[in-house]
Amino acid sequence: MITERILPGPAEALAALLGVGVPEDGVLPLLWHWVYLLDRPAQADLGPDGHPVRDGTPPGRRMWAGGRVRTTGELRWGADATRHSEVVATREKQGRSGPLTFVTVARRIHQAGRLVVDEEQDLVYRGAGTGEAHSAGGPEVLPAAGEWSLDVTPTLLFRFSALTYNAHRIHYDRDYCRDVEGYPGLLTHGPLQAVAMAEAARARGVTGPLSFEYRLVAPLFDFQGLIASARPGADATTTAVRDRSGRRTATGTLRPR
């Protein structure tokens, strides 16, 4: 359990990172709770990849696979909030690159005696080895109307890691990515892609109590760019992230509650 006062500073920092406006009413937009109520492990508890090593943590490389978030109230500045976390599911699966362990973590945030955020995060742990195969990409597909482009640079990835207290080296250590993980570049955070989809929807006027289910479907490297889209429909808003060549790396669905 973690309890802290929700202050404007982290939200202002995230807004500056994304180049979007700070909420004037003090209500955090969808997924902005990810810069609050953070785990802050001791340096001695980090493994060689920068990820925390704890009893019961599956061995291997950790990746964010997706999740589900429901906002059941407003998370506001100026009051304490409490986050409870627990592992609710673990399952083994055989992937193309070897055995995988999928872990689902439930997180619930209460403020003023009310549940305001209810979410599940799906994490996958895979064995050591080379990085996933990746496409070199094709001709550039320029952003279309309604798409939101974010310039992914090492600086941006480093700052997002700092905002979320994420020491995982795949996001800021290019030598480690290439020489140890076998990737061609720095990996763009799964949560950053999810936030980009939520922001693309917010720019289209999708606000209020929402449920958001999202999935990371392919790795996105820093040199590939990030273009998010949101297409409101009658019952749901469909979101996606693609790279500059049009290759899709994340998908999501937003529904009103």
Domains in the chain: boundaries: 2-256
CA–CA separation, 165 vs 62, rounded Å? 15
Superfamily for domain range 2-256: Hotdog Thioesterase (3.10.129.10)
DSSP for 170-206, written as a single string = GGT-HHHIIIII--SSPBPPHHHHHHHHHHHHHHTT-
How far is residue 1's CA from residue 69's CA, in Å, rounded to a whole number? 19
Distance of alpha carbon 10 from alpha carbon 107, whole angstroms: 19
Per-residue confidence (pLDDT) for residue 23, from 0 to 100? 87
Report the range of poorest mean pLDDT among 9-13, 55-59, 178-182, 188-192.
55-59
Least confident of 65-74, 119-128, 195-204: 119-128
Contact 75, 116 (CB under 8 A): yes
pLDDT, residue 89, reads 93
Instruction: Give the three-state DSSP class for 122.
Output: strand
How many angstroms separate the CA atoms of 36 and 186, rounded? 24
pLDDT in tens, 174-229: 999 999 989 999 999 999 999 999 999 999 999 889 999 999 999 999 999 999 99
Its pTM surpasses 0.95: no
Residues 70-109 have pLDDT tens digits of 999 999 999 999 999 999 999 988 877 778 889 999 999 9
